[in-house]
RNA sequence: GCCUGGGUGGCGGAAUGGCAGACGCGGUGGUCUCAAAAACCAUUGGGCUAAUCACCCGUGUGGGUUCGACUCCCACCCCAGGCACCA
């Protein structure tokens, strides 16, 4: 790429030929030099303050795409900026290497998941190096290596010891044709299997859970962390804390047997309005409460619900459906019997899987009652009007005073009233105040091969479930497996894996063949980076104390309710075990935006990735880095269209001009040239204005405007040098160029390093401090005041920066343009915003 | 459907209560060239106009607050992310 900068009308004597900008030569050169110098490594014993700059580790899907580049470049710019601010920046990289795609590849192409994954990692490692990022490769981890997953297993045992792991039944997606468990992603929108098109059903399996709900209240706190409000809000909504009461009703089965039916409600103050009960189709009492004549209808409905997704079931717009079981519940409040129905809008996973229905004051219950012609009883009445329960068209929420509720009648709708109901319920022994969460326990079992083995053993001699003794870890995942079209994990077909002995009695036993959710691997990788090769434990406690918590975490907002919640839970649990001295793993959090292609997030599994290779080959990494950061604000992402790439030319031209600006200075012989001090002041004003805005932009992650600031700076300098031959002789000019390179260096590390060396430096530009902003040098002597009349711009005036309001008023009122616009009218109001604007109201 | 964001020229975007469209792409005209490419210079929201004067319109839609609204408030429409087994 040869770049011509300006016309050849110069008067300077030229010392040498201008060197050509060849990114494909200088970029690999500097990448290698930095590696040799150890420039990317953060030493554990460095005296500077530490800064742990963490980017979410990638899944090794095969090739790095534009989305990866976008995320990692932005994170690297941040890390490099912090380095210039004087921190010992630790910026590790690794691979989240277990997961479904490796098994898909194995099934489709007959490659072993391990081999496929490791070769992907190798390829991505090479591609990652071409970005020029400040990666500390000495700390690389891959979660599929036994040295790593040994400790994932170890953490499972620790959580089990503390009573945080337990077994329970949970539904999985089951394809009856392929006889296999399917991930949600493998079930198409119409509820069929993506491989064979068969309708997928739900099947109950015994699986492992972590008790994350025990930490719900602590997770709500976000103690001492600086996270985006929207992320905290989404987590709070996801955890969904609600206060109310648990009330136990008695249901009578057709055979006369009575069963407890506990419910959770946030509105115990409406209990006198109960007209029916609804329980989930999966509720354990469904069978017992179904009368013989309703049996067929109920079974058909239960089967139908099995094929529905939770999103469908919770869709409030859907027409309500349900079946009456034939049995009744007696309300202790009124002594009356009300019917029990099943409906898919009640979920077994929330509350108790049963609700008391109060149609007058709950919209879903109201729609259900109208659909099935069930009675509606009002327990609140607005203070200013009478409402008729038979003719009302929607439920009445929080309004007025209590009615139809015996001794409670007349009370206002208020928290105190709710409290009175709860007190009464507790006195009567019918129930108690309770807090409920929407958050569910974390199901970690996967019926898959390519994951961390769950280190548990099932004794066949009667010892029950036994943990694998610590000294026997890791439970090694067999490297070679055969994928058969059956429902079980391939691990079931490896007798050497499955068959073992009971650690308690020594008798015959079987290993757990389910593996762990990959979110388990990503819940502690940030701890492993602190001492990546440590083998006496998951991490060196001293080094974790030094580096943790993470100072800056960077990753997509799509991880808000899962990974970011799991990692926090994990950290809190380890804190409680005394393994860590902090409760929150990530102090600052930033979500980069998403790069969309065809209106979807770019990802290999969606098949819409764009490869950066051609762009990088043609323009070099620095240009692609700056181009991506110039697309828009880093937290917004953007749509990648066919026209997007064409904009890269603008960045290439910009870098070419920067190259020309600096190399011109280097080759011009300035002996005996003098420079006007006024022009020097202009250069400094421009320089310090730029320092001010660009450092501020970098601070707030506005990399796009940081770049446009640098473009304007560059344009300004080019104009000055064109008008002032010989300016290169001035030390002020040289300083201005060094400012340009320093400010640009986090975005474009290679070209700035090369030019920095050309200016005669022998140390790396990346060890420089950020240029210091001097507001006095940046100050403008005059400002432009906009003159509006009734909010419309009518004139502008240039005034001294220290002008008073009275002077502005005089100047404005005597301006011919203003006089003409006023046309004799008298101003009613004169609004002056200092140094900015005047608005005359007529 | 629910939770969380977002919507500004032909395109990416700037402006967070004060000049809408910075910066860049693309377009148009020019310089250089035998020619083209590259590079450089000028110009570029729409309408009206001889005009680059003046005036009018314009930030998803409809309403509101304010001397003044892309920015704040209310309602709606559209797009994206997440919804618990993709990671």
The kind and range of the H/E element at A596 are strand A595-597
Q: How far apart are CA A663 and CA A654, in angstroms?
A: 14
CA A587 / C1′ B2 distance in Å: 29
- Nucleotides, chain B, CB distance < 7 Å: 1-6, 11-15, 18-20, 22-26, 38-41, 55-56, 67-69, 79-87
DSSP code at position A381: E
Closest nucleotide to A708's CA, by C1' atom?
A: B23
Instruction: Give the contacts of A86 (CB within 8 A, at least 6 positions apart).
Output: A48, A49, A769
Instruction: Count helices and strands (H / E) in chain A.
Output: 26, 34
Summarize the confidence of residues A325-336 as an average pLDDT.
92
Q: How far apart are CA A69 and CA A64, in angstroms?
A: 7
Summarize the confidence of residues A340-353 as an average pLDDT.
91
Contact criterion met (CB below 8 Å) for A251 and A328: yes
Question: pLDDT at position A541, please?
Answer: 97
Per-range mean pLDDT, top range of A99-103, A215-219, A398-402: A215-219
**CA A8 remoteness from chain centre:** 52
Closest nucleotide to A839's CA, by C1' atom?
A: B67
Contact criterion met (CB below 8 Å) for A129 and A31: yes
A579-597 per-position pLDDT tens digit: 999 999 999 999 999 998 8
CA A231 / C1′ B5 distance in Å: 10
What is the radius of gyration, based on Cα positions, of chain A? 34
Name the closest residue (CA) to the C1' of nucleotide B40: A6
Closest nucleotide to A517's CA, by C1' atom?
A: B85
Closest nucleotide to A437's CA, by C1' atom?
A: B84
A416-474 per-position pLDDT tens digit: 999 999 999 999 999 999 999 999 999 999 999 999 999 999 999 989 999 999 999 99
A695-716 per-position pLDDT tens digit: 999 999 999 999 999 999 999 9
Q: Is the dihedral of CA A633, A639, A643, A646 positive or negative?
A: positive
- Taking residue A25's Cβ as centre, other Cβ atoms within 10 Å add up to 12
Residue A315 has pLDDT above 70, yes or no: yes
CA A650 / C1′ B29 distance in Å: 20
Cα–Cα distances (Å) from A238 to A115, A563, A588, A728, in that order, read: 38, 13, 21, 60
CA A416 / C1′ B7 distance in Å: 44
CA A415 / C1′ B23 distance in Å: 55
A737-792 per-position pLDDT tens digit: 999 999 999 999 999 999 999 999 999 999 999 999 999 999 988 888 899 888 88
Residue A13's pLDDT band (cuts 50, 70, 90): low
CA A110 / C1′ B5 distance in Å: 42
CA A398 / C1′ B50 distance in Å: 69
Closest nucleotide to A101's CA, by C1' atom?
A: B86
Model ipTM?
A: 0.95
Contact criterion met (CB below 8 Å) for A73 and A625: yes
A646-667 per-position pLDDT tens digit: 899 999 999 999 999 999 888 8
Sheet containing A180-182: give its strands across.
A180-182, A165-175, A201-210, A442-443
Residue A4 has pLDDT above 50, yes or no: no
Residue A14's pLDDT band (cuts 50, 70, 90): low
Cα–Cα distances (Å) from A374 to A281, A324, A365, A433, in that order, read: 19, 11, 10, 29
How many C-alpha atoms does A526 have within 13 Å on its Cβ side? 29
A360: its two tokens: 């007058």
């Amino acid at each position: 790429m040869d770049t011509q900068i300006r016309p050849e009308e110069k008067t300077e004597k030229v010392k040498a030929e201008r060197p050509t900008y060849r990114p494909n030569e200088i970029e690999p050169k500097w990448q290698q030099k930095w590696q040799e110098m150890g420039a990317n490594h953060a030493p554990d014993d460095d005296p500077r303050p530490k800064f742990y700059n963490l980017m979410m580790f990638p899944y090794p899907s095969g090739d790095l795409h534009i989305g990866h580049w976008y995320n990692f470049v932005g994170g690297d710019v941040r890390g490099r900026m912090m380095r210039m601010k004087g921190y010992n920046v630790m910026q590790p990289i690794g691979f989240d290497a277990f997961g479904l795609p490796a098994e898909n590849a194995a099934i489709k192409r007959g490659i072993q998941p391990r081999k496929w994954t490791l070769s992907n990692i190798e390829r991505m490692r090479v591609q990652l190096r071409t970005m020029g990022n400040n990666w500390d490769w000495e700390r690389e981890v891959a979660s599929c290596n036994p040295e790593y997953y040994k400790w994932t297993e170890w953490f499972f045992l620790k959580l089990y010891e503390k009573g945080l792991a337990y077994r329970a039944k949970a539904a999985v997606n089951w394809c009856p044709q392929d006889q296999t468990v399917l991930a949600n992603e493998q079930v198409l929108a119409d509820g069929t299997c993506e491989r064979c098109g068969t309708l997928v059903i739900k099947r109950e399996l015994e699986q492992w859970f972590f008790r994350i709900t025990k930490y719900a209240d602590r997770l709500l706190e976000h103690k001492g962390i600086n996270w985006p409000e929207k992320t905290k809000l989404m987590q709070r909504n996801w955890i969904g804390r609600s206060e109310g009461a648990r009330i136990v009703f008695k249901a009578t089965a057709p055979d006369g047997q009575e069963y407890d039916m506990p419910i959770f409600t946030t509105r115990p103050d409406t209990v006198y309005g109960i007209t029916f009960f609804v329980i989930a189709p999966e509720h354990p009492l469904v069978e017992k409460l179904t009368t013989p004549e309703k049996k067929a209808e109920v079974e058909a409905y239960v089967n139908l619900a099995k094929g529905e997704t939770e999103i469908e079931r919770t869709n409030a717009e859907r027409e309500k459906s349900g079946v009456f079981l034939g049995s009744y519940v007696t309300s202790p409040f009124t002594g009356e019997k009300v019917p029990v129905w099943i409906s898919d809008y009640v979920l077994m996973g929330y509350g108790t899987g049963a609700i008391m229905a109060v149609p007058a004051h709950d919209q879903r219950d109201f729609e259900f009652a109208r659909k099935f012609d069930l009675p509606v009883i009002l327990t609140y009445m607005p203070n200013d009007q009478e409402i008729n329960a038979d003719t009302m068209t929607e439920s009445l929420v929080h309004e007025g005073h209590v009615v139809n509720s015996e001794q409670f009648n007349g009370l206002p709708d208020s928290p105190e009233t709710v409290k009175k109901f709860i007190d009464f319920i507790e006195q009567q022994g019918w129930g108690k105040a309770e807090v409920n969460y929407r958050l569910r326990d974390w199901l970690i079992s996967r019926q898959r091969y390519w994951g961390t083995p769950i280190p548990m053993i099932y004794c066949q001699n009667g010892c029950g479930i036994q943990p694998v003794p610590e000294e026997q870890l890791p439970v090694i995942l067999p490297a070679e497996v055969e994928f058969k079209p059956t429902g079980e994990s391939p691990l079931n077909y490896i007798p050497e894996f499955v068959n073992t002995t009971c650690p308690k009695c020594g008798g015959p036993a079987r290993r757990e063949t389910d593996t762990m959710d990959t979110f388990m691997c990503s819940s502690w990788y940030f701890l492993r980076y602190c001492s990546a090769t440590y083998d006496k434990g998951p991490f060196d406690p001293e080094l974790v104390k030094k580096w943790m918590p993470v100072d800056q975490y960077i990753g997509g907002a799509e991880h808000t309710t899962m990974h970011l919640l799991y990692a926090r839970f994990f950290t809190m649990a380890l804190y409680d075990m005394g393994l860590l001295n902090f409760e929150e793993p990530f102090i600052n959090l930033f979500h980069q935006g998403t790069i969309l292609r065809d209106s979807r997030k770019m990802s290999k599994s969606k098949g819409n990735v764009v490869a950066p290779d051609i762009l990088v080959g043609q323009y070099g990494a620095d240009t692609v880095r700056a181009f991506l950061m110039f697309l828009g604000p880093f937290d917004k992402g953007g749509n990648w269209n066919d026209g997007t790439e064409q904009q890269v030319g603008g960045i290439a031209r910009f870098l070419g001009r920067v190259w020309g600006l600096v190399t011109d200075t280097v080759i011009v012989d300035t002996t005996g040239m003098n420079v006007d001090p006024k022009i020097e002041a202009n250069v400094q004003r421009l320089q310090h204005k730029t320092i001010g805005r660009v450092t501020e932009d970098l601070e707030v992650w506005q990399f796009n405007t940081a770049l446009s600031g640098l473009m304007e700076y560059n344009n300004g300098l080019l104009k000055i040098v064109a008008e002032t031959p010989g300016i290169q002789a001035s030390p002020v000019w040289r300083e201005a160029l060094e400012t340009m390179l320093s400010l640009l260096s986090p975005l474009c590390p290679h070209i700035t390093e090369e030019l920095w060396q050309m200016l005669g430096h022998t140390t790396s530009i990346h060890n420089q401090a950020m240029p210091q902003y001097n507001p006095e040098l940046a100050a403008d002597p005059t400002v432009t005041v906009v003159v509006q009349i009734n909010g419309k711009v009518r004139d502008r005036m240039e005034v001294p920066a220290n002008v008073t309001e009275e002077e502005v008023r005089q100047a404005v009122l005597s301006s011919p343009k203003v006089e003409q616009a006023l046309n004799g009218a008298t101003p009613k109001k004169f609004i002056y915003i200092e140094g900015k604007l005047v608005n005359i109201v007529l």
